[in-house]
Chain A
Amino acid sequence: MKFSSFSKVSAALLVALSLTACVEDGDDGVAGVAGANGVAGTSGVSTFVTRDDVIKTNANIAYAAYSDALISAQDLKVALELFTATPTQANFDLAKKAWLDSREPYGQTEVYRFRQGPIDELKADGTLGTDDAGEGPEGLINAWPLGEAIIDYVEPVDGLSGPETPANAITDNIIANTADYPTIDATTLENLFEHGEDGRNVTTGYHAIEFLLWGQDLNQDLSGAGTRDNTAGQRPVTDYSSTVGACTSGSNAATDDICQRRGQYLVTTAELLIEQLKRVTEQWEPGSGDHYQNFVAGGDVSLAKILEGMGRLSFGELAGERINIALIENSQEDEHSCFSDNTHRDIFLNAKGVQNSFNAKYVRIDGEVIEGASLYDLLVVEEQHELANKLRGSLEATMSAAAVIDTKAKTGMPFDVLIQEGINQPNIKAVINALVTQTDDIEAVITALGVTTNDLRDDTEQEI
């Protein structure tokens, strides 16, 4: 089934239903949701949806968003191949642009984390686990912060680019260590992922590619100790030079094979990213995907998962780890996309994903709009008009606060500058506060709908 036809049909259906509701207020059941024999209609309801409808739309949007992430990762790989084959500045810029583009849909998929979905629980053997996080492909796709010193050269600026414990460091780095890692391929990188059980030894995923494209963000003076400014990492294009004798590692000359290996690393990482995104997308494939099937048949447990993903992303991951930690530690390394200074988009897109889940609307990368039965509609149907409006409002408030950060970053004041003491911290705090408020409203919705996220894990005791 194609989404375009599905969404058109459902849109037409919704229009028809809403017209009916406008004619009659439904108070006496005559034009109620099940016709004359049904229960009383709900005054002023413009749309009728059921819980299962909301769950299905949520699953369909998941598929669309992960599909977009997959498609844009493929585009990224093409751009990286072009660049490494012909390492011109123009192609370098295109490669970076492709990375930034690939982040747009992925950021909006993250609301599908923290809810026992395939991103967190799809095991290497292809089965779905029941543990909360830890076994899924999320780490391979989007792990951060990076101990980037395992991948490539770093400047001696602080202690934040190494592993958790020096015992888990490798000699030099993967790219420079030709003796231990003669071949840069998928096996090498996967084997070294979280080398020594060390969560900072991230060798794959978006942020590994980001580091290989931008390099460390050392600010304008490249010392890493100077004033924080609006520059991102400034890796020179000559780090990928194919001209004999012209290869560099930053400001130092390097042997030709280093540039070649760096290029191989880049393309290999893109391939691994595609592979992992493909696995997740397939789980969400309407009809055939295992998780899709389970989820749409899950009833209130699935409804609770939608809200759990929204709540936990809003508070713990976004407001907490991604924004607040960077703020209280005032640390450039603790911002999500620290090499490219793209953190403002991460924040905006994560928040957007939560809003998407509520409004049941997602704009695909080709402009197509996927929409359907929303939580908003459901709350209205279930006579929670005020709460529906409240959460709509708080999500909107978050988006407007996130838009301020987004705009500031695009006009010369990126997130890592904004978090500094005495700069524009109020802009950052406004996003945190808005996210806290929306989380409260999400909790109120969970209560109002009578679903509980606790139920999600009831079956885990049986796993022993």
Chain B
Amino acid sequence: MYKSAITLALSLLIIGCNGSDPAVIEPVEPTPTPQPILDHSGLAPIAIDVIDKSEYLSGGDSTVFVKNENAFSRKPEAIIADFQLDGFFTQGDHLFRTPDDGIGPILSTGSCQGCHLNDGRGVVPQSPTTPMTSMLVKLANGKGEADPMYGDQIQPFSVDGFISGNTLADGFSIHDGSVSGVESLGEAFPYVEFEIITGSYPDGTRYELRKPTYKIRDLSYGEFMADVRFSARIAPQAFGVGLLGAIPEKNLLALVDVDDSNGDGISGRASMVKDVFADDSADKVIGRFAYKAQNPTVLQQVAGAYLGDMGVSTSVFSNEPCTEQQTACLLAAESENKTAKEPDLSDLSLALVEFYNRVLAVPARRGYDDASDTWTEEVTAGRKLFIEANCSGCHTPRHITGDAKGSELGELSLGGLTANTEENYAMSIAVLSNQTIYPYTDLLLHDMGGTCALTRETETGLSCTTGAECLYVQRCEGLADGVAQGDASGTEWKTPALWGLGLVQTVNKDSSFLHDGRARTIEEAVLWHGGEAKDSKDTFMHYSKAEREQLLAFLKSL
């Protein structure tokens, strides 16, 4: 299906290019004027010099005009104006912020907002002894296999750390503490240490980057599998995802260029994943969410986060985050079940959180004056430099959305959900449908380069093989994490959306950039780019200081 979709997309493109396929289009008159080349959305490509007025409204009708610390927490006007939708949003917001009473037995945090701070990004712990509370560590080997004991994610805490009156430390892991199968503890304590590395631009300007080393100590259930790799990830900003979910799949597949046939050094692969709601489980759809595009829908992403990050079961993922081998965790899960067999979170609650997350609005661009329809000079210049450096080769500026269909769980009402039927499917979300949006992503996987190496060593750096003092230590060059997930290899990442970039540190001043938050500034994030993005980064580095500032000003205006 994947290949045929590409073929279809390609043939569509061809039609779009010459417009002369007689089987499809009847030529009206023999005109020598060639049809304009259309982009993946079927629109005239965006111009390098002329900024379309609509660019200011990054989220189309889902754009809001807030630029303070609440910029990522807003609902579109169309939602406010509809009392019913307003009510669903309000309830979803409440659930997003509130820990469910079914959290645990092991978890990374207690509520959605616990990681998506202020609906924005998480933060990197300030010291090696501070636990990760708004970022997490994924586990897999280079083949994408999860650890047989620990699963695909480290849950650093047991629910004891989240009980009122206790402190987080009550839920910490202890070396071999859960091995006997009695005490359910957090799984392990991951932490990060940074080394400052330096470099310079061709014009001699120096810069500093923080290079992370990831270390894991206090493994409660014994050792990891031999070829384990760790992928530390900061919670991303949560808004705009309903729009990304509504981009027609064929438009995204039209951007795929696996063999780099256009020779721009950028390939771009779709992460094809299983949609848990698909009728035929063999069918795969394009993944859009999470850092390696593992999840195809907001609902699947949300349910996955409830399971993996909070230990809350749903009808989508009815298990708890314990693996079959984690006896202590399983026993604790058994006693957690307050009402037998029912998931911790009801479908109604899950659908409310899904709705909330889907319609969380996108902040409007800054640097634009609506009255005079003008952009600041530096933003205009920076945009041009961004396109000329082919940053837009992956950070695709514009998409259009199709029909943002209603929830797979059914039609929302205050009383409950009305299940979908063939004739009566949940109503589409109008404010997300048929919009022109500017997320600056192709949602495809790109090889960003780098390599990783894992060692066992003590805190002081001595080599070791086993024991409480023997840490797992992962050092990587570049952006690689060594973890394969689905179609994505250990050097591949999904292009993240750039909208709202300039407000990230307004919403949360301690936020930082890239998948693991290593970049303290947007400039540092650009400088970490490698692999398919190396040419673009080199172009950036060769820009003059003034030009680099213009490009960064453009990014900050997003």
Q: Residues of A at under 8 Å CB distance from B?
A: 131-132, 134-135, 145, 149, 153-162, 164-167, 169, 196-200, 311-312, 314-317, 319-321, 324-325, 328-329, 331, 333-334, 429, 432-433, 436, 439, 442-443, 452-454, 457, 460-464
- Main SS at interface, chain A: helix
**Contact at B95–A325, with CB atoms within 8 Å?**
yes
**Contact at A159–B110, with CB atoms within 8 Å?**
yes
Q: Given A316-B83, A316-B89, A464-B368: A156 and B65 within 8 A (CB)?
A: no
**Contact at B114–A164, with CB atoms within 8 Å?**
yes
**Contact at B83–A442, with CB atoms within 8 Å?**
yes
Distance, CA A460 to CA B75, complexed state (A): 14
**Contact at A165–B165, with CB atoms within 8 Å?**
no
Between-chain CB contacts (< 8 Å), 28 pairs: A132-B74, A132-B80, A134-B70, A135-B68, A157-B164, A158-B164, A159-B101, A160-B98, A160-B164, A162-B162, A164-B113, A165-B114, A167-B130, A197-B508, A198-B117, A200-B97, A312-B86, A315-B86, A316-B86, A321-B87, A321-B91, A324-B414, A325-B94, A442-B83, A460-B65, A461-B364, A464-B67, A464-B364
Residues of B contacting A156 in the complex (Cβ-Cβ under 8 angstroms): 163-166
**Contact at A169–B90, with CB atoms within 8 Å?**
no
Q: Is B24 an interface residue (CB 8 A)?
A: no
Residues of B contacting A442 in the complex (Cβ-Cβ under 8 angstroms): 83
Residues of A contacting B167 in the complex (Cβ-Cβ under 8 angstroms): 166, 169
**Contact at A166–B133, with CB atoms within 8 Å?**
yes
B93 — nearest CB in chain A belongs to which residue?
Answer: A321
State which of A167, A439, A454 has its C-beta within 8 Å of the C-beta of B84: A439
Residues of B contacting A432 in the complex (Cβ-Cβ under 8 angstroms): 414-415
Q: Given A162-B110, A166-B162: A315 and B84 within 8 A (CB)?
A: yes
CB distance from B20 to the nearest CB of A (A): 42
Q: Residues of B at under 8 Å CB distance from A?
A: 56, 65-70, 73-74, 77-78, 80-81, 83-84, 86-91, 94-95, 97-101, 103, 109-111, 113-115, 117-118, 123, 130, 133-134, 159, 161-168, 346, 348-349, 364-366, 368-371, 414-415, 508
Residues of B contacting A166 in the complex (Cβ-Cβ under 8 angstroms): 109-110, 114, 133, 161-162, 167-168
**Contact at A167–B134, with CB atoms within 8 Å?**
yes
Q: Give me the 7 closest cross-chain CB pairs, A-B, nearest first.
A: A316-B87, A156-B165, A165-B114, A320-B87, A161-B164, A166-B168, A316-B90
Distance, CA A316 to CA B109, complexed state (A): 27
**Contact at B348–A457, with CB atoms within 8 Å?**
no
**Contact at A443–B83, with CB atoms within 8 Å?**
yes
**Contact at A317–B90, with CB atoms within 8 Å?**
yes
User: In the complex, how many residue pairs between chain A and chain B have their CB atoms under 8 Å apart?
Assistant: 170
**Contact at A154–B87, with CB atoms within 8 Å?**
no
Residues of A contacting B365 in the complex (Cβ-Cβ under 8 angstroms): 464
* Extra inter-chain contacts (12) besides given A153-B165, A167-B123, A461-B65, CB under 8 Å: A159-B163, A159-B164, A160-B164, A165-B114, A165-B117, A166-B161, A167-B130, A200-B97, A312-B86, A432-B415, A453-B81, A460-B65
Distance, CA A169 to CA B134, complexed state (A): 13
B113 — nearest CB in chain A belongs to which residue?
Answer: A164
**Contact at B370–A464, with CB atoms within 8 Å?**
yes
CB distance from B166 to the nearest CB of A (A): 5
State which of A149, A164, A319 has its C-beta within 8 Å of the C-beta of B165: A149
Q: Given A159-B101, A165-B109, A165-B111: A320 and B165 within 8 A (CB)?
A: no
CB distance from A454 to the nearest CB of B (A): 5
Distance, CA A321 to CA B88, complexed state (A): 9
Q: Given A158-B164, A199-B113: A321 and B371 within 8 A (CB)?
A: no
CB distance from A379 to the nearest CB of B (A): 19
Residues of A contacting B133 in the complex (Cβ-Cβ under 8 angstroms): 165-167
**Contact at A159–B162, with CB atoms within 8 Å?**
yes
**Contact at B83–A315, with CB atoms within 8 Å?**
yes
CB distance from B157 to the nearest CB of A (A): 8
**Contact at B163–A157, with CB atoms within 8 Å?**
yes
CB distance from A357 to the nearest CB of B (A): 15
Q: Given A154-B164, A159-B99: A312 and B83 within 8 A (CB)?
A: yes
CB distance from B485 to the nearest CB of A (A): 25
A463 — nearest CB in chain B belongs to which residue?
Answer: B65
Distance, CA A162 to CA B167, complexed state (A): 10
Residues of B contacting A158 in the complex (Cβ-Cβ under 8 angstroms): 101, 163-164
Distance, CA A196 to CA B86, complexed state (A): 27
**Contact at B508–A314, with CB atoms within 8 Å?**
no
**Contact at A149–B65, with CB atoms within 8 Å?**
no
A165 — nearest CB in chain B belongs to which residue?
Answer: B114
State which of B66, B69, B83, B111 has its C-beta within 8 Å of the C-beta of A197: B69
CB distance from A324 to the nearest CB of B (A): 5
**Contact at B115–A316, with CB atoms within 8 Å?**
no
Residues of A contacting B69 in the complex (Cβ-Cβ under 8 angstroms): 197
**Contact at B97–A429, with CB atoms within 8 Å?**
no
Residues of A contacting B97 in the complex (Cβ-Cβ under 8 angstroms): 164, 199-200
CB distance from B337 to the nearest CB of A (A): 15
State which of B68, B78, B99 has its C-beta within 8 Å of the C-beta of A131: B68
State which of A200, A328, A439 has its C-beta within 8 Å of the C-beta of B349: A328
Residues of B contacting A169 in the complex (Cβ-Cβ under 8 angstroms): 167-168
Residues of B contacting A315 in the complex (Cβ-Cβ under 8 angstroms): 83-84, 86-87, 414
Distance, CA A66 to CA B518, complexed state (A): 49
A167 — nearest CB in chain B belongs to which residue?
Answer: B133
Residues of A contacting B110 in the complex (Cβ-Cβ under 8 angstroms): 159, 162, 164-166
CB distance from B372 to the nearest CB of A (A): 12
B366 — nearest CB in chain A belongs to which residue?
Answer: A464
B89 — nearest CB in chain A belongs to which residue?
Answer: A316
CB distance from A196 to the nearest CB of B (A): 8
B509 — nearest CB in chain A belongs to which residue?
Answer: A197
A200 — nearest CB in chain B belongs to which residue?
Answer: B97
**Contact at B98–A145, with CB atoms within 8 Å?**
yes
State which of B87, B94, B118, B348 has its C-beta within 8 Å of the C-beta of A319: B87
CB distance from B305 to the nearest CB of A (A): 14
CB distance from B53 to the nearest CB of A (A): 12
Residues of A contacting B103 in the complex (Cβ-Cβ under 8 angstroms): 159
Distance, CA A149 to CA B168, complexed state (A): 13
CB distance from B348 to the nearest CB of A (A): 5
**Contact at B66–A131, with CB atoms within 8 Å?**
yes
State which of B56, B66, B83, B366 has its C-beta within 8 Å of the C-beta of A314: B83
Distance, CA A30 to CA B155, complexed state (A): 81
A160 — nearest CB in chain B belongs to which residue?
Answer: B99
B169 — nearest CB in chain A belongs to which residue?
Answer: A166
Distance, CA A333 to CA B164, complexed state (A): 12
A163 — nearest CB in chain B belongs to which residue?
Answer: B114
Residues of A contacting B163 in the complex (Cβ-Cβ under 8 angstroms): 156-159
Residues of B contacting A331 in the complex (Cβ-Cβ under 8 angstroms): 101
B77 — nearest CB in chain A belongs to which residue?
Answer: A457
A133 — nearest CB in chain B belongs to which residue?
Answer: B70
Distance, CA A328 to CA B74, complexed state (A): 24
Distance, CA A320 to CA B415, complexed state (A): 10
